[in-house]
Amino acid sequence: MEKWDGNEGTSAFHMPEWMIQFADQKQEFNKRSTKIGRRSLSRSISQSSTDSYSSAASYTDSSDDEASPRDKQQKNSKGSSDFCVKNIKQAEFGRREIEIAEQEMPALMALRKRAQGEKPLAGAKIVGCTHITAQTAVLMETLGALGAQCRWAACNIYSTLNEVAAALAENGFPVFAWKGESEDDFWWCIDRCVNVEGWQPNMILDDGGDLTHWIYKKYPNMFKKIKGIVEESVTGVHRLYQLSKAGKLCVPAMNVNDSVTKQKFDNLYCCRESILDGLKRTTDMMFGGKQVVVCGYGEVGKGCCAALKAMGSIVYVTEIDPICALQACMDGFRLVKLNEVIRQVDIVITCTGNKNVVTREHLDRMKNSCIVCNMGHSNTEIDVASLRTPELTWERVRSQVDHVIWPDGKRIILLAEGRLLNLSCSTVPTFVLSITATTQALALIELYNAPEGRYKQDVYLLPKKMDEYVASLHLPTFDAHLTELTDEQAKYLGLNKNGPFKPNYYRY
């Protein structure tokens, strides 16, 4: 595998800046997978003693036998051995996890029902590389129900739920993934998905771009039969835009990361809740009366500010963009420079996507017991490295919680070592994952069925009508009743009764 190692592979892109970002991102994903993993498994009695704040490491500890799955001979009950998972015998337990997830992913289940007659993915051969969780399993089995054949690897070496992988293998899905893969394992699994005799993928579902990258490197000819790529992550999308700019993108790609529904749920609505959750679980603090500064008033910042204001905190905002700044003003937040309030605030939250927003100088000036955390992007926003100096003492007081102590005894409380608080210290609700998975499924259907010429070798946003469709599939969860346009009204507005209902530049 020496030729295929991660460093060689990725360095081939020669794009230093975002490669650094990608590396950051990857670390984040490790955490994320851990979190998602925890959530599902923690439902079970057998795992009920799992600490909410346990680090990724604890998961690998729990592996009960040392033999590599690659060395095992396993068969599912139908006799197939076209898979590689930790332990096929865990299938029944994983199936239960999947069934619980099905209850909370009504949109995918609705897609299955609607597709009982027609199979919009009949003939599709999808190779996928994502986190392997109960929610992903619901997605995969939905794709199957819609007519597709699937082969799947994990996009992260820690995030696979072994039980779920086993259940998928038992159900006939060729899955190659287990928790605690080595980097070599990682690429081996991906290769086993694509390098098959008598089977060639015609669709790619990727999360992070590694699968896409692998095919580019090893099997460029495969792209002749591939109808398109669906990519979910910020990083993977970034890579695709780079390829497109460089004229190297040879199939259409769908950027599902920037669809309206996904953005609002991943950012505004999800963070509105997870900022409170993350702070409570780590610090047990009381929000009422606390002074908080939120750096950045994008969707994430808006969510954090709204939640904390509602809980009785006094919130200040910093911004670089005057439009967002004016929004902060109109929403009732004082717009300040960080320096103006750094001495008085009880909490500092970064939501900028920028780097070194909180510097050592800021950290030096914070008051005793100030809490510092990051809700933004990656782990660059707080200059944590600057705190690793001899005169400061670090004291780990809980998992994900460090006290950094100054020589004069002042201590600041640093959460998740500056990584994403919401991924590290709270959970992502299944409802949010449901929206993402539905968007992915629809993007695959769209690309697979699009008439010749609709999509060129470029990166596309999900068509607005599909975005609207994802939303409509989730309305029944809230017993929400949509109004239909009359013919007369549709004509008056110049709209189709079934949408799309807004111009592309509409801001929601």
Q: How many CB atoms lie within 10 A of CB 75?
A: 13
H or E element in which residue 151 lies: strand 149-154
Q: CA-based angle 394:397:402, to the nearest 5?
A: 40
Binding residues for a copy of itself restricted to 54-73, rule: CB under 8 A: 54
Q: Which residues contact 468 (CB under 8 A, 6 or more apart)?
A: 499, 500, 501
The answer to whether the annotation marks 355 as part of a ligand binding site is: no
Q: Does residue number 264 form part of the binding site for a copy of itself (CB under 8 A)?
A: yes
- Cα separation, 270 vs 457, in Å, equals 33
Between 263 and 457, name the residue whose CB sits nearer to a copy of itself: 263
Out of 11, 344, 449, 496, the only residue in the binding site for a copy of itself (CB under 8 A) is: 344
Out of 340, 361, 385, 454, the only residue in the binding site for a copy of itself (CB under 8 A) is: 340
Task: List Cα–Cα distances, 268 to 105, 275, 439, 504, in angstroms.
Answer: 20, 11, 18, 20
Provide, rounded to whole angstroms, the least separation between the CB of residue 123 and a copy of itself.
29
Task: Give the binding range for a copy of itself (CB under 8 A) out of 132-140, 246-254, 320-328, 415-423.
Answer: 320-328
> Contact 334/292 with Cβ under 8 angstroms?
no
Contact code string over 195-234 relative to a copy of itself, x by CB under 8 A: ----------------------------------------
Q: Does residue number 26 form part of the binding site for a copy of itself (CB under 8 A)?
A: no
Between 149 and 438, name the residue whose CB sits nearer to a copy of itself: 438
The answer to whether the annotation marks 300 as part of a ligand binding site is: yes
Between 220 and 332, name the residue whose CB sits nearer to a copy of itself: 332
The answer to whether the annotation marks 422 as part of a ligand binding site is: yes
Provide, rounded to whole angstroms, the least separation between the CB of residue 24 and a copy of itself.
11
Between 49 and 73, name the residue whose CB sits nearer to a copy of itself: 49
- Cα separation, 40 vs 430, in Å, equals 9
Q: Does residue number 269 form part of the binding site for a copy of itself (CB under 8 A)?
A: yes
Peptide bond into 407 cis (omega under 30): no
Provide, rounded to whole angstroms, the least separation between the CB of residue 385 and a copy of itself.
14
Q: Does residue number 397 form part of the binding site for a copy of itself (CB under 8 A)?
A: yes
Out of 338, 342, 384, 443, the only residue in the binding site for a copy of itself (CB under 8 A) is: 338
Out of 95, 179, 262, 474, the only residue in the binding site for a copy of itself (CB under 8 A) is: 474
> Contact 73/130 with Cβ under 8 angstroms?
no
Between 53 and 223, name the residue whose CB sits nearer to a copy of itself: 53
Backbone angles phi, psi at 348, to 5 degrees: -120, 125
Q: Exposed e or buried b for every residue in 284-306, given b needs 16+ CB within 10 A?
A: eeebeebebbbbbbbbbbbbbbb
Q: Give 368's DSSP letter.
A: T
Between 22 and 469, name the residue whose CB sits nearer to a copy of itself: 469
Structure tokens that stand for 75 in this block = 């068969």
Binding residues for a copy of itself restricted to 427-466, rule: CB under 8 A: 427, 429-432, 461
Out of 272, 358, 443, 448, the only residue in the binding site for a copy of itself (CB under 8 A) is: 272
CB-based burial of residue 332 (10 Å sphere; 0-12 exposed, 13-18 middle, 19+ buried)? exposed
> Contact 381/350 with Cβ under 8 angstroms?
yes
Provide, rounded to whole angstroms, the least separation between the CB of residue 144 and a copy of itself.
24
Q: Give 392's DSSP letter.
A: S
Total site size for a copy of itself, rule CB under 8 A: 118
- Cα separation, 287 vs 270, in Å, equals 18
Place of tokens 């704040």: 53
Provide, rounded to whole angstroms, the least separation between the CB of residue 261 and a copy of itself.
6
Place of tokens 């394992």: 185
The closest of 294, 250, 254 to 275, measured between CA atoms, is 294
The answer to whether the annotation marks 302 as part of a ligand binding site is: yes
Q: How many CB atoms lie within 10 A of CB 241?
A: 16
The answer to whether the annotation marks 232 as part of a ligand binding site is: yes
Out of 396, 449, 458, 496, the only residue in the binding site for a copy of itself (CB under 8 A) is: 396
Between 39 and 213, name the residue whose CB sits nearer to a copy of itself: 39
Task: Give the binding range for a copy of itself (CB under 8 A) out of 132-140, 147-155, 157-165, 288-296.
Answer: 288-296
Out of 2, 7, 14, 17, the only residue in the binding site for a copy of itself (CB under 8 A) is: 17
Binding residues for a copy of itself restricted to 104-163, rule: CB under 8 A: 104
Task: Give the binding range for a copy of itself (CB under 8 A) out of 125-133, 138-146, 187-195, 485-493.
Answer: 485-493
Residue positions in the annotated binding site for NAD(+)?
298-303, 319, 422
